[in-house]
Amino acid sequence: MATSQNEKATRFRALHEGPSAFLIPNPWDAGSARILAGLGFQALATSSGAEAGVLGRRDGTVSRDEALAHARAIVGAVDLPVSADLEKCFGDAPAVAADTIRLAAGVGLVGGSIEDATGDKDRPLYDIALATERVAAAAQAARSLSFPFTLTARTENFLRGNPSLDDTIKRLQAFEKAGADVLMAPGLPDLASVRTVCAAVKKPVNFMAGIKGKSFTVAELQAAGVRRISAVTPFVVDPGYGKNWLFVKVETSDGLHGWGECYTQADRDHSIAAHARQLGRYLLGRDASHIRHFTHWAYNDFASKRGSLDFWGAVSGIEQALWDLAGKRLGVPVVTLLGGPCRDRIRVYANGWYSGARTPDDYGKKAKETVARGFTALKFDPFPGPWRTHISRDAERQVVETVRAVREAVGPNVDLMIEVHRRLAPMHAVRVARMLEPFDPFWYEEPVSARDLGALVECRREIKIPIVTGEELYTRFEFREVFERRAADIINPDVCNVGGIEELREIAAMAEAYHVVVSPHNYNSTTVGLAATLHVSAAIPNFLITEYFVNFEPRAAEVMVNPFKVEGSYLTVPTGPGLGIELKEEVLARYAYREFPARTIPAPRDEGP
C-alpha cells in the first residue's frame, strides 16, 4: 500500500529532528530514483543541475513546469519522501515563490528549497530584505498546506562570488526568523565554517557534499552540527580489464562506514548489484554488529534458501563491510576479531599475467617477466578454445607444450598452478594430468566440476598432482561433502562469493579436520576483496597461498588510498582498524560502470572436438 503524502511529509520532518545526520541523495530521473531507493536511502531530493542535464541543458535554464514535471516523475517512481531543488522558486516576486510552493505540493513533493540567487550575473544575490520577504512568502504558503511541508532556505554567497561568512550567517538567521524549516549555505570552505553556521542558527542545517575541496565525512559533519547530507555514492567500477568491480559501502548513524566487495562476472554485474540493493533495504535500522544474523536471515528469509552466484556475491560484500565496521568501531583489525593472526604475511601467486598470450612462446615470455617482478608462483589456464568437457588430441598437446614452455622459461623453483576451470570430463582430466606430471605442477585446479563429486573423487584417485576445488561452491554446506568424500587436497573458496569473512573461516575450520589446506580464490580487485582475504588467511592455521591478479594493479593503485605492494611474492596483513583499507570515492566515480564488448560465444559450426 502506497504511503500518503502526509505520512511521507511527517517522516521527512522527523528525519531532520532525529539525533543523527542522514544522507539524502540526488536522483537524475525516475530510474536512478528507484536505484537509490533500493540502496536504502530514506528520502530523495531533486537537483536543478540533474534535471537540466537530463534535458541536455545548463543549470538554471529549466522552466517551472518542466521542473515540476521532473519532480512528479520521481515522486511517482518511489514510495519515499521527495524534496525538490526549486532554485529561486522561478520568479522574483514573493507571490511567485508562494505559488511555486503550492504547485510543488500539488505534484506530491513534501519539501522544497528557495535560494537567494537571482540568476543575474551583474546582481547575483537578492538584497537581504527582498530575499527574506521571499522566504517568508514561501513559508506562509507551506504552512497553509494540509501536511508539514519542509521548506529549506539557502544562501548562495559562497557560490556567487561573495564568500562572506558573516553575511551568510546574517542571511540564514533572517531566513530562520522568516519561517524556514531547514537552512543551507552551499560551498562553505571548511569544517570551522560549518561549525560556526550550525552554532549560529537553531534550525537544522543541510550540507551539500560533492564540491571539490569542500566535502567532509559524515562523522565530521555530524560533529559540526549538520543534520542532513546531500551525497550519492557510486559502487560499480570499471577496472579497465575483464569485468566490472562491485564495492558495497555500509554507513551507520554514528558516522562510521565499512567497505565490502562482491564477486562479479562479465555480463552479470547488474544482477549482483541488484541483489545488493535489495538486501540493503532490509538492513536499514538494524544493528551493524549483528553480522551472523544478517547472513542467516539473508539466506533463509530473503532468498528462501535459494542461493546463487549473484545472491552470495551480494551477501559476501555486505558481510565484509559489516566486519570492517566492527573493527573500526573497536579500533582493531579484523584479524584480531577472528582470534588473532597465525602469520603476519601472506604468500600470493600471480594470475592474469598471461593476458593476450596465444602461443606457448607467448606464455613463456610473459611468465619470465612476471617472475622477474619477484613472484615465486604462477597460475594459468593453458587450455585452448571454449570450455567443453571433451577436447581434441591437438588441444591436449597444446596444453602440454604451453606448460612445457612456462616451466622452461621460469626454471624448476617457481610453483606452477594449472587451472582447468572445471571444464573437462574425467577421461580428459586424468589423461592431461598424467602428461603434465614431468613438469612438476604445484596443483591441478578444478579438473572437473564439483557439482559431480563422483567424477572429482575419481580424478583425485587417478591423478598424482594435488587436486583443488571450491571456486564454484558457496557456504560450508556445499563444502561438507567434498570433505566427507575426500574429493580434494586443497580448496579455494572466494571470500567475495562464499558468504563472506566468517563463512570462509568456518569452511577453513572444517577443512582442517580433514587435513585439507586452504588457498582462497580471489578474482576480485586487489583492494577490498584482497584485504578481506588477507585477514582470513592470517587467522586460519591451514592456509597455503592466495591469488593476486597483476592486471588489476593499475586501477587498484588509483582507487585505493594506500595500495598493496607485493614483495617477494608476499603481502603484509593490514594492521589498521577494520579491513585496514580505504577507497577514494572521487576516483570510483571517475571510473563508473562500463559495458564491455560482447564476448565471443561459439556457434554450432565452432563446436568440436
Closest by CA to 327, choosing from 582, 579, 581, 578, is 578
Task: Say if residue 288 is exposed, middle or buried (CB neighbours under 10 Å; 0-12, 13-18, 19+).
Answer: buried
Cα(31)–Cα(139) distance, rounded to whole angstroms?
A: 31
Rg value, the chain, Cα: 29
At residue 554's C-alpha, the angle toward residues 594 and 261, to 5°, is: 60
Grouped pLDDT means (10 residues each) for the chain, 609 residues: 89 82 88 88 91 84 95 95 96 96 97 95 94 97 96 94 93 96 92 88 86 70 58 66 91 78 92 88 77 94 94 95 92 96 97 96 98 98 94 96 98 98 97 98 98 97 98 96 98 98 98 98 96 98 98 96 96 96 88 85 87
* Single-letter amino acid, residue 262: C
The secondary structure of 577-597 as a DSSP string is SBTS--B-HHHHHHTB--PPP
Place of cell 530473503: 302
- For the domain 335-589, what is the CATH code? 3.20.20.120
Using alpha carbons, list the distances in angstroms from residue 513 to 33, 458, 478, 608: 49, 22, 16, 42
Q: Which three cell numbers stand for residue 511?
A: 577443512
- Long-range contacts at 436-441 (CB < 8 A, ≥ 24 apart): 436/399, 436/400, 436/403, 436/465, 437/464, 437/465, 439/403, 439/404, 439/407, 440/407, 440/412, 440/416, 441/403, 441/416, 441/417, 441/465
* Single-letter amino acid, residue 105: A
Q: What are phi and psi of 403, to 5 degrees?
A: -65, -40
Cα(89)–Cα(48) distance, rounded to whole angstroms?
A: 11
CATH superfamily of 5-230: Phosphoenolpyruvate-binding domains (3.20.20.60)
List the chain domain ranges.
5-230, 236-332, 335-589
* Distance in angstroms between the alpha carbons of the first and the last residue of the chain: 57
Contact (CB, 8 A) for 511 and 542: yes
Cβ atoms within 10 Å of 52's Cβ, excluding its own: 18
Sign of the dihedral defined by the CA atoms of residues 274, 279, 285, 288, in that order: negative
Closest by CA to 139, choosing from 87, 181, 195, is 181
How many residues belong to the chain?
609
Q: What is the pLDDT of residue 223?
A: 73
Q: What are phi and psi of 134, to 5 degrees?
A: -65, -40
pTM > 0.85: no
Cα(488)–Cα(516) distance, rounded to whole angstroms?
A: 7
Cα(318)–Cα(574) distance, rounded to whole angstroms?
A: 20
Cβ atoms within 10 Å of 430's Cβ, excluding its own: 18
Sign of the dihedral defined by the CA atoms of residues 420, 502, 510, 545, in that order: positive
Contact (CB, 8 A) for 47 and 208: no
Q: What is the pLDDT of residue 232?
A: 27
Using alpha carbons, list the distances in angstroms from residue 286 to 255, 260, 291, 553: 15, 18, 10, 35
Q: Which three cell numbers stand for residue 433?
A: 594430468
Do the domains spanning 236-332 and 335-589 agree at the CATH topology level? no
Q: Which three cell numbers stand for residue 218?
A: 559524515
Q: What is the pLDDT of residue 16?
A: 87
Q: What is the pLDDT of residue 213?
A: 63
Q: What is the pLDDT of residue 234?
A: 37
Q: What is the pLDDT of residue 212?
A: 58
Cα(50)–Cα(72) distance, rounded to whole angstroms?
A: 15
Cα(520)–Cα(449) distance, rounded to whole angstroms?
A: 17
Task: Say if residue 29 is exposed, middle or buried (CB neighbours under 10 Å; 0-12, 13-18, 19+).
Answer: middle
Q: Is 287 left (phi over 0), alpha (psi -120 to 50) or beta?
A: beta
Sign of the dihedral defined by the CA atoms of residues 58, 59, 61, 65, in that order: positive
Using alpha carbons, list the distances in angstroms from residue 584 to 27, 182, 235, 388, 565: 22, 30, 12, 41, 18
- Is the bond preceding residue 541 a cis peptide, omega within 30 degrees? no
Contact (CB, 8 A) for 188 and 215: no
Helices (H), 360-443: 360-372, 393-410, 426-436
3-state SS assignment for residue 416: strand
HSE-CB at 554 with a 13 A cutoff on CA atoms is: 7
Q: Which CATH class is domain 236-332?
A: alpha beta
List residues with catalytic annotation: 421, 521
Q: What is the pLDDT of residue 228?
A: 39
3-state SS assignment for residue 258: strand
